[in-house]
Amino acid sequence: MSKVIAIDGPSGAGKSSVSRIVGGRLGYLHVDSGALYRIMTWQALARGVDTDSPDAVAAFAPQVEIECRPEAGAIRFYVGGELPGDRIRTPEINAHASHVASVKAVRDRITSLLQGLVRFGDLVVEGRDITTAVFPDSPARFYLTASAEARARRRRKEEVEKGIADQSEDAVKASLLARDAIDSTRKYAPLRKADGVYEIDSSDMTLDEVVEAVLAKVHEAFG
Ligand code: DC
């Protein structure tokens, strides 16, 4: 049976960096579940689907073909034979992704796709509902958080370094908080800290410290 490390938390808490490093250290495949919600959003916008209409999004959801391939320590998601890359990381996708992720048909489709990834081996999966809905029985479940200021600072730095956008820190913070609000109050599988999940507040921690804290708990959980 494949082992799964599940990591949830709000935007910009450092889930991706931590998951990637932990996966690399343990030989587990990294799975960025947010990329799947972003892909659905990207495709919906590209086809002119009204992302504010849950019915329109639900009708569109089954049409997006996503191919999953284990490559370079991660599960990579291909659409039409191509990797989406930073096309799914724009401010426009940020603004619409929470709406698309609120639609039950989208969540059901992505949840079963994620659960099926265990066929590829051990996984470290990050997202918003991994510890509560996708892999709630994993013995290694984490809630990674940080202050809104720390999260906005990190996310802005990432966007500038990648040449995706150059918004003010306040604008990045407002966008993060708007998404958090929708993600944690939606009807289906909202972001929440589940019972029995190990919480790490990374506001004043280095990336190395967070990685070590996760690894220590994983060793405890899996022996
Ligand atoms: O982690 P991210 O910013 O790439 O996520 C993009 C959007 O998808 C965000 O609105 C949260 C949502 N999401 C979700 O609802 N459930 C997940 N497991 C992962 C992401």
Ligand 1 closest atom vs CA 15: 1
User: Residue 223's pLDDT is what?
Assistant: 80
Q: Is 37 helix (H, G, I), strand (E, B) or coil?
A: helix
User: Residue 134's pLDDT is what?
Assistant: 98
pLDDT tops 90 at residue 164: no
**Model pTM?**
0.94
**Chain mean position to CA 117:** 15
The 10s digit of each residue's pLDDT in 20-55 is 999 999 999 999 999 999 999 999 999 999 999 999
pLDDT tops 90 at residue 15: yes
Asked if residue 9 has its Cβ within 6 Å of ligand 1, the reply is: no
Distance 100 CA to ligand 1 centre (A): 10
List the beta strands (DSSP E) in the chain. Answer: 4-8, 29-32, 66-71, 74-79, 123-127, 140-145, 198-201
80, 65 Cβ separation under 8 angstroms: yes
CATH says 4-210 is which class? Answer: alpha beta
37, 100 Cβ separation under 8 angstroms: yes
Give nearest CA residue, ligand 1 atom 10. Answer: 98
Ligand 1 closest atom vs CA 179: 10
Half-sphere exposure of 14 (CA within 13 A, CB side): 28
Give nearest CA residue, ligand 1 atom 14. Answer: 128
User: Residue 42's pLDDT is what?
Assistant: 98
pLDDT tops 90 at residue 162: no
**Chain mean position to CA 182:** 15
Give nearest CA residue, ligand 1 atom 15. Answer: 101
Residues in the chain: 223
**Residue ranges per structural domain of the chain:** 4-210
Mean of pLDDT over the chain: 95
Distance 212 CA to ligand 1 centre (A): 25
**Which of 7, 33, 86, 175 is the best mutation target for the ligand 1 pocket, counting ligand atoms within 8 Å of the beta carbon and taking the most?**
33
The 10s digit of each residue's pLDDT in 52-105 is 999 999 999 999 999 999 999 999 999 999 999 999 999 899 899 999 999 999
3-state secondary structure 182-223: HHHHCCCCCCCCCCCCEEEECCCCCHHHHHHHHHHHHHHHHC
**Which of 128, 132, 177, 180 is the best mutation target for the ligand 1 pocket, counting ligand atoms within 8 Å of the beta carbon and taking the most?**
128
User: Residue 165's pLDDT is what?
Assistant: 86
Per cent of the chain over pLDDT 90 is: 91
Asked if residue 34 has its Cβ within 6 Å of ligand 1, the reply is: yes
Q: What is the strand order of the sheet 123-127 is part of?
A: 66-71, 74-79, 29-32, 123-127, 4-8, 140-145, 198-201
44, 179 Cβ separation under 8 angstroms: no
Q: Which residues of 56-78 are buried (b: 16+ CB within 10 A; e: fewer)?
A: ebeebbeebebebeeeeebbbbe
Asked if residue 138 has its Cβ within 6 Å of ligand 1, the reply is: no
